[in-house]
Amino acid sequence: MKIDDMDAFVAVIRCQSTNLAAEALQITQPAITRRVQNFEQDLGASLLDRTTKPLKPTPMGLRVYAQCKAILREIDSLRELVASDGAPSGTLRLGIPQTLGDVVLLDALGRIREAYPQLRTQVTSGWGSSLIARMENGELDAAAALFPPGKIFPEGIASRSIARMPLKVVEAKSNAAKRNCKLRDCYARGWVLNPDGCGFRAGLQRALSELGLNLKINLETFGTELQLGLVASGQGLGLVPEPLLRMSSHRDALDVLNITDFKPHVDLWLFHPRYLGSFQEPVELFGEVAGHRLADQ
């Protein structure tokens, strides 16, 4: 049984296509097909349902795929252990949600480039859950994302909270006297939020559901600055981490509502495979810069 054959099988399942798997591994499509067939012959089992498009694993193929990913991670860890004495080089693949990218990336990438000039960085944006999935598939070396305190990550992923921050409900500034209120008193004004999949939105929806209330979306759009600008123009309520509010160019046009029964917090988590080899130090630097930028000071 060859590692290259196992790697080819994992790539085919991940890409759901022999052509895309061949591109990912930079070999020909016939070579991918041959390696997968060799792997099936070695195991004495059919691993792919070749009657479906896109390609899908058989029930046994799905079990083998999970085991192969674990084996390949251990092989990568072994290689990293041997290489860990050298200076970081190659490509460090980082993940971060779009919500944080504008705030964190400029400083973080600059510090990494200065400290490790031989290291290239490649950045992927996405929701935290999708970044975890990409890490499990071996597509990322590290990521920073916002999750609730106490988040439990899948086995094989090391994680730690590097900053905790309150989420603030904001509205357009007005001259009206402000008072304390409850979520029930203000929710019907509607909200300007990220599209479905955002952890902030999900937490708000859970809080409303517990009160027997529905989430009313006035506008949904990506990007904290755009959302806060829309809130400042009177389009609805917003929900934002306090540090991002402090950094926003719209902060003087916004008021923070003191909602007495809704005081959510969110953590910035740094997570990565358990063994990083020579990437350990640059990943720690990435986390240090990201945490410092978003720490609730």
What CATH number should be reported for the domain whose range is 3-83? 1.10.10.10
67 pLDDT higher than 70: yes
Distance CA 101, CA 99 (A): 6
Q: Are the folds of 3-83 and 90-163+266-294 the same?
A: no
Whether the full predicted model's pTM is greater than 0.85, yes or no, is no
Please report, for the chain, the start and end positions of each structural domain, with discontinuous segments joined by +.
3-83, 90-163+266-294, 166-264
pLDDT on residue 136: 84
Distance CA 226, CA 220 (A): 10
The mean pLDDT value for 43-55 works out to: 86
pLDDT on residue 190: 92
CA proximity to 140, closest of 77, 79, 96: 96
Distance CA 170, CA 150 (A): 26
pLDDT on residue 175: 62
Mean pLDDT is lowest, of 97-106, 117-126, 256-265, for 97-106
pLDDT on residue 233: 93
pLDDT on residue 60: 92
Burial of 210 (0-12, 13-18, 19+ CB in 10 A): exposed
The mean pLDDT value for 27-45 works out to: 91
- CATH class of this structure's domain 90-163+266-294: alpha beta
88 pLDDT higher than 80: no
Between 178 and 21, the more confident residue is 21
Between 225 and 98, the more confident residue is 225
The mean pLDDT value for 28-42 works out to: 91
What would the pLDDT profile of 246-278 be if each residue is shown by its tens digit?
A: 888 999 999 999 999 899 888 889 999 887 778
**Contact criterion met (CB below 8 Å) for 241 and 165:** yes
Between the alpha carbon of residue 89 and those of residues 36, 105, 112, the distances in Å are 31, 19, 11
Between 183 and 296, the more confident residue is 183
What would the pLDDT profile of 176-229 be if each residue is shown by its tens digit?
A: 656 788 999 888 899 999 887 777 888 888 899 999 999 999 999 888 889 999
The mean pLDDT value for 12-41 works out to: 89
- Work out the number of other CB atoms within 10 angstroms of the CB of residue 219: 15
Q: Percentage of residues in the chain with pLDDT exceeding 90?
A: 32
152 pLDDT higher than 90: no
Domain 166-264, classified CATH 3.40.190.10, yes or no:
yes
pLDDT on residue 297: 42
Give 92's strand partners: 121
- What integer best gives the mean pLDDT of the chain? 86
pLDDT on residue 85: 56
Hey, what's the torsion of the CAs at 70, 141, 133, 223, to 10 degrees? Answer: 180
Q: Percentage of residues in the chain with pLDDT exceeding 70?
A: 93
Indicate the residue type of 222.
F
